[in-house]
Each structure stands twice: as structure tokens, then as C-alpha cells.
Amino acid sequence: METAIRKRPVLITTVCIIGFIWIVGSLPAVFSPSIKKLGDWYPALFGFLVAACFISYIGLWHMKRWGAHVFIGAFFLKEIILIMIDDVSYPGFVISVFFIACMTAYYKKMDVNL
């Protein structure tokens, strides 16, 4: 078992902190009236995305590759949904792409194990 403690770069720490703040802000949005108005299943879908992002940030905090994988998967799913409901947020898109770039830069230093 690989037990080496990997040092977390400042950039990834910053990404995680911003991510956790975003999660705290997004959790109440799951059951906000505006999301509910989009359709019966949108709160569930949005809730799944928030949970996936939360898990990915915990993975990244521990410098795990699966954190990056989950984040990228959640990012694509989120963008598909936003395109479907015609509510694409360009600042949000740019920030997510920046986060992915940061993860890619340190990807090789991340742990492959769970």
C-alpha cells in the first residue's frame, strides 16, 4: 500500500478552498424555488452535481487523482445541463476550466490510490 504523504501545492489548496466555499453556497440552491421551477428532477440532478463536486474537492485536498476525475466528470455533466436549460454562465465556465488546468498541472504528483 502506498502510504507516502504527498505535499499539497498552494494552487490546489486555493482551488479546494474556493470549491468548498462554492459548495456551501450551492447547497441551499439545490432546494431553491428557482431550481425547482425548472422541473421535478432538476433539484435531484443539481444535488447530485453538488455532492460530486464536494467529493472531488475532498479527493483533491488529499491529492488523489480520483478527485480530478470526479471534478472533470461533474464539470461536463454540469455544462450539458446548463446548455440544455439555456443558462450557461461564462464566468463559471472559465473558473472551472482554470481549476481543471490547475489539476492537470499537478496531475502527475497526485496519488492513484483511493
Partner 1 sequence: MIFLGLFRESILFAINALVVNKLRTILSLLGITIGIFAIITVFTIVDSLEQNLRKSVQSLGNDVVFVEKWPWTFGPDYPWWKYMNRPDAEYTELDAILRKCDGAQAAAFVVSSNITVKYKSSSIENVTIICASHQFDKVKNFEIAEGRYFTEIESEAGRPVAIIGDVLAKTLFPYQSPIGQWIKVHGAKVMVVGVFKKEGESILGGSPDTQVLVPVQYARSIIDIRNNNLDPQLLVRAKSGVSNDDLIDELTGLMRSIRKIQPRAEDNFALNQTSLISNQFDKLFDIVGVAGWIIGGFSILVGGFGIANIMFVSVKERTNIIGIQKSLGAKNYFILLQFIFESIFLSLIGGIFGLIIVYIITLTAGDSFGMEITLSKSNIILGFTISILIGVVSGFVPAYGASQLDPVEAIRAS
Minimum distance of partner 1 from residue 74's CB (angstroms): 13
Q: Determine the interface stretch with partner 1 among 7-15, 39-47, 70-78, 81-89 (rule: CB under 8 A).
A: 39-47
Does 90 interact with partner 1 (rule: CB under 8 A)? no
Does residue 2 belong to the site contacting partner 1 (CB under 8 A)? no
Q: Do 11 and 106 contact (CB within 8 A), yes or no?
A: yes
Name the residue among 29, 61, 65 with its Cα closest to residue 47.
Answer: 29
45 Cβ contact list (under 8 Å, min separation 6):
81
Question: Residue 110 carries which DSSP code?
Answer: S
Question: What are the cell numbers at 92?
Answer: 463559471
Binding residues for partner 1, per CB under 8 A? 3, 23, 27-28, 30-33, 36, 40-41, 43-44, 47-48, 50-51, 54-55, 58, 62, 113-114
